[in-house]
Structure 1
Amino acid sequence: MTRKKQIIIPIAILIVGILLFFGFSSMKKPPEEKAEVDNRPIVAVEKIHIAPMDLTVNSYGVVQPKYETELVAQVSGEVVELADVFVRGGFVAKNQLLARIDPNDYQAALIDAEATMASARASLETERAQGQVAEREWKRITDTSPTELSLRKPQLAQELAHVKSAQASVLLAKRNLERTEIRAPYDAMIESRTIGLGSFVGTGSKVGKLLGTGVAEVRLPVADNQLQFLVSQGEDAQVNLIGTYAGKDIIWQARIARSEGVVDNKSRMSYLVAEVQDPYGLKTKKETLKHTPIRFGSYVTAEIFGVSLKGVTLLPRYLVTNGRVAILAADSTLHYVNITIAREDGSNMIVTDGLNEGDQIIVSALDYPVDGMKLVLQGSKSDVTTEEAPETQIASTKD
């Protein structure tokens, strides 16, 4: 009996174990199928637009008059008259009287010079008559040729010299009388006046200073490597001068009149000179056009218009690496293209070759970019479930 139990019990345990195994196996659920994961980087792009562009060169400068003159007295005397406009900031026209020096002494000198000239002319006429008499008497007395002295020619030449000297004295007296009137040599603004009514001035004394209002100049420093972007190195180029007047930003039109033709020893810059006609608007009719004056001494920035490029695009500097940019090809792969950079403009680069209209340039960052790698455009629809891409790989998509 004991032996049977030893045989039956193990067999029963084995059968129960087998039954439990199949029971539990039938209760087990099959493993869930996981969706396929797309690990391609997600990128943002911008479309390339090709368009013409006019290049400009930026500069700066201070407005100065083209002509300025120190007025000095050419004769001495007392100042007996001053014009009302002969004050600091006053505007005067060409040949307008500014001051008058006492002319009495110079009028008297002119009268004396004219009297001396009249006397010299009378003496000349007398000597001519005496010479003619001497010639007639000589012919009546003898048939031989008379000498120069016999005909009184040396005396005639002397009297002629006296007349010329008297004429010179008259001219000098007239000039000195004219110099008693101090007049403006051109349309100008008074910068300073150093005389007063009743003051005495000597020859060479400073009277005042004038600033010509016909033309204003601005010296514009330009780096040598920027001249290549100007037509004919800036000759006769149009310029926009930007400054402030009464708290407002104003733009004045100017043009490059000339280049100074040398490189400054200190700044190593070339200088172009821009001219503004009628800076204070004195010749402009106020009823037809309001002119905002560009004042002498004003600081202005300048935009010099240069060469025109037919087909270019503007790219941020950070997108360019070793003269190449990354674009999203038609087959959704990364592709690097070489570009030609015409100019670096601040944080941007002007590209003239290598890109075509409609190319999609990648503007988002990639951790490990490889030419030809598969990419996914941000916002595109896909039948494949996409894992969330790293934050550094995603930027906004712009069209």
Structure 2
Amino acid sequence: MATTMQKAFPFVVIITGAVIATALIMLKQAPEEKPPIDNTPLVSVQSIKYEPMKFTVSSYGVVNAKYHTELVAQVSGEITYVSDTFVKGGFIKKGQILAKIDPSDYESALLDAQADLASAKSSLVLEKATAEVAEREWAEITDSKPSDLSLRKPQLAQEIAKLKSAEAGLQRAQRNLERSIIKAPYDSLIGSRNIGMGSFVSNGSSIGLVYNTEKAEVRLPLADKEMQYLDRKGTNAEVTLVGNFAGEKQQWKGTIVRSEGVIDSKSRMTYLIAEVNDPYGLKSNHKELRYGTYVTAHIGGTNAGNVAVIPRHLIVNGLVAVMDEEKKLRYLPVNIIRQDGSNVIISSGIEEGMNIITSALDYPIEGMTVALPEDKILQQDVPVDDADEDSESAIVMEGKE
């Protein structure tokens, strides 16, 4: 038979195991609690500021002379003189002599015309005297009314016509003699010269090309929708031309003087004409604006009032995301009055000083809480401070013990 000890042994083992398990459970440390994770999305913001603005419309173009003239010979002959300043790229004054054509034939023609005029005058005087004699003789013979032929009126009219013809011939001879001297029609830049000493030119032969230096013009293409931002369709608006001169960026001031008044059939653009005075700085000290220069133009437009400029990509279906005072995401409609490249100009919809969200959000929901990066930094700093305070408290308690 089993002894009492043998019967009690299983119970002892069970009780001992339970005690050990209980002790182990009591000695086991509780799992460390992890700090709660903040999933609030971070955003970057930009404060809205309204400022007065004047619209500017941009365009581009090539600088050209307002006037250019191809010089042609109006008489024939040999070139006997060419001015030293009559070279490509040279500057000349109005009325300056550029070249001369042999005037010998035209001087002779002038003498012939003068002789013809003197002869016509003499014939007219003789015919008038003859007509007076004929009128007196008719009066002595009869009291009847004389005919025009009897008074030699047709002959007198013929002599008057001959005199006028001689005067016209004299004027023509004088003009031809004057035309043998080629003069500059205005202050000019020589574009080309097609003659030389000893060359022969005939009536209509090209002599050269000159460009007016008093004023320059630039044709500026504008889309039709841009015209709404200009007063009086741009007439008399100030324009700033920007281009390169001697490797440096330069600016010149000009004025819009007119519109071409039609839409180009190929480009579908409206062209405005900008005018610049004294482009080569011959009468002033500004940098020369050479013909053929490619320039960018900025045309002064209408006053936009108080407006704000924000990046265009922040506008979605006319709404912009903002962070309100409670740091909630809100979508507000804005009034867009113009798109300007990568930006848009708004006149209302967002109050002065409001923060628009400029960073992208993965899953934006109206009313969701958002945070700024500096808010996260402050939240991370708080537990560290609390831990330091707990450590200091523990040190104090140990000192008291």
**TM-score (normalised: structure 2):** 0.88
**Residue in 2 aligned with 1:354?**
349
1:125 alignment partner in structure 2: 125
The yes-or-no answer on 1:299 pairing with 2:315 is no
Q: Which 10-residue stretch deviates more, 315-324 or 81-90?
A: 315-324
Over the aligned positions, Cα root-mean-square deviation in angstroms equals 2.4
Count of aligned pairs between the two proteins: 382
Q: Choose 126-135 or 290-299, whichever is displaced more.
A: 126-135
SS of match in other structure, 2:124: helix
2:309 equivalent to 1:314: yes
Residue equivalent to 1:391 = none
Determine the structure 1 residue equivalent to 2:332. 337
Q: Which amino acid aligns with 1:353?
A: S
Residue 193 (structure 2) aligns with: 193
The one-letter amino acid paired with 1:120 is: A
Tell which deviates more after alignment, 337-346 or 352-361.
337-346
Aligned partner of 2:50 in structure 1 is 50
Q: What is the deviation of 1:146?
A: 2.1
* Cα shift readout 1:171-211 (whole Å, capped 9, x = no counterpart): 11111111111111111111111111122211111111111
What is the CA-CA distance between 1:71 and the residue it aligns to?
0.9
Matched, 1:206 2:206: yes
Residues 373 and 175 of structure 1: CA distance in aligned 2, closer, same or farther (over 3 Å): same
> Which residue in 2 is equivalent to 1:152?
152
Deviation of 1:110 after TM superposition, in Å, equals 1.3
Q: Secondary structure at the match of 1:95?
A: coil
Aligned AA for 1:364? S
Residue equivalent to 1:220: 220
Deviating more after overlay: 234-243 vs 204-213: 234-243
Aligned twin of 1:328: 323
Deviation at residue 28 of structure 1 after TM alignment: 4.4
Would you say 1:248 and 2:248 are equivalent positions? yes
- Alpha-carbon distance change, 386 to 152 in structure 1, aligned in 2, over 3 angstroms: same
Residue aligning to 1:65: 65
* Paired residues of 1:83 and 1:98 also in contact (CA < 8 A): yes
CA distance in 2: counterparts of 1:210 and 1:118, whole angstroms = 41
Q: Which runs of 5+ in 2 are unaligned?
A: 383-401
Correspondence list, 1:362-373, <5 A: 362-373=357-368
How much has 1:364 moved relative to structure 2? 2.3
3-state DSSP class of the match of 1:42? coil
Task: Give the 3-state SS of the residue equivalent to 1:365 in structure 2.
Answer: coil
Q: Does the 8 Å CA contact 1:241/1:302 hold for their aligned counterparts?
A: yes
Distance change in 2, residues 1:326/1:340 (3 Å): same
TM-superposed deviation, 1:17: 5.1
Equivalent residues in 2 for 1:57-96, closer than 5 Å = 57-96=57-96
Task: Specify the SS of the correspondent of 2:375.
Answer: coil
Cα deviation, residue 230, structure 1: 2.2
Q: Does 1:234 align with 2:220?
A: no
Shift of 1:32: 5.2
1:374 equivalenced with 2:369 (yes/no): yes
Give the 3-state SS of the residue equivalent to 1:280 in structure 2. coil
Query: Are the aligned partners of 1:217 and 1:273 in contact in 2 as well (CA < 8 Å)?
Result: yes
Instruction: Name the CA shift for 1:10/1:259 in 2 (closer, same or farther; >3 Å).
Output: same
**Residues 148 and 373 (structure 1 numbering): CA distance in 2 closer, same or farther, change over 3 Å?**
same
Separation of aligned partners in 2, 1:133 and 1:174: 37
SS of the residue 2:367 aligns to: coil
State the SS of the aligned residue for 1:380: helix
Deviation at 1:326, TM superposition (A): 1.0
Partner of 2:385: none
- Normalising by structure 1, we get a TM-score of 0.88
Which residue identity lines up with residue 254 of structure 2 in the other structure?
Answer: A
The whole-number CA distance in structure 1 between the counterparts of 2:15 and 2:191 is 124
Q: Which moved more, 1:6-15 or 1:336-345?
A: 6-15
- Look up the equivalent residue of 2:152 and give its one-letter code: R
**Stretch deviating more after TM superposition (126-135 or 365-374):** 126-135
Superposed structure 1 runs of 4+ greater than 6 Å apart = none
If each structure's helix is expressed as a fraction of its own residues, which one has the higher value?
2
